[in-house]
Every structure is written in C-alpha cells, then in structure tokens.
Amino acid sequence: MSTTKTITTNRLNGGKVVRTGSNGITRLVNAPVNNGRTPNVNIRRKLMANAANRRGAGDRRQQLVNTYLTLAYEMRPGLERKIFRKYVLLIMYSIDKIAGSTSNLEQYSKLYKDAEKLTGTVDLKIQNKCAEIISGILENISKIDSSTSKKLFLFQ
C-alpha cells in the first residue's frame, strides 16, 4: 500500500509530491529532471561532439550528393583547375567515408593542399566525363565500396 503526502516547506524537493511505496522507497513525483541541476557543460559538449561524429551513412550520402550538385552548378567553360580538383577530392573523400575506408585520407589531404598551387582551366569535355562517372556512382550509391573512388583518380 502506498501513501502520498505533499511537503511544501522542504527545500530539497521544492514542494513536489512525495510518494512512499510499500517497500519503503520514496520517490519524487513531478520533480524537475535531474533534480533541477544542469548537467556539466563539458559533458554536454562531449555528448554533442559524439553525436556529430556518429553521422550515419545516410548523412554522408546526402553530403556526397550535395557536393556533386555544387560541382555541377560550378561547371562551365573556363572553370579553374584548382576549384575542379578540390571538388573531385571532396567527392572522393566522401565516397571513402561512406565505404569506411581510411587508407587514402592522408593522400587526399596532401592533394587538397597541392591543389591550391594549380593554375589554368579544365576543358569542358573533361568536366562532362567526370560528371558522368560521378552520376554513375550516385545511381548506385547504396553499393559504394572502398574501390569506388578509384574511378575518379583519372582526374588527379
């Protein structure tokens, strides 16, 4: 048999309803979450960082599609070689992240830095060929594996 009593003068529970069960366990009913204390800021920051690191494959696939769409928007005669190379590298990086491969990450980082030094433009035929390859990858986005990004090494 449980009994219920309201305590309004006790600072510990802020006037919430206290319920004592037949087993002698006392609980606060309608008490504030975590007894009204705010969690440690560092713990909250850590939890948010972990959530960001655990992005699912769906999020990564969406990022890949968005990167390709941005590249397609930028494609035009006279596209700078460094911009084109950076987009292709970002797409290759996204493909490897989806596949769970980490073997090329340092290489992509180095190539991305080296792309800043490139000059000149990319021919429209090369841009279209790259777009065809990426479109083929996106059509089979659920079948991406660690060898998928090799198709784009031609454009490096």
Residues 95 and 144: beta-carbon distance below 8 Å: yes
For the chain, which residues make up each domain, given as ranges? 1-54, 56-155
pLDDT (tens digit, 0 to 9) for every residue of the chain, 156 residues total? 555 555 554 555 455 556 666 666 666 566 555 555 555 656 666 666 665 555 676 788 898 999 999 999 999 999 999 999 999 999 999 999 888 888 888 899 899 999 999 999 999 999 999 999 999 999 988 888 888 888 888 766
User: Please, what is the Cα angle at 80 between 117 and 116, to 5 degrees?
Assistant: 20
pLDDT at 60: 87
Q: Provide the 3-class DSSP secondary structure of residue 3.
A: strand
Integer Cα distance of 138 and 60 in angstroms: 12
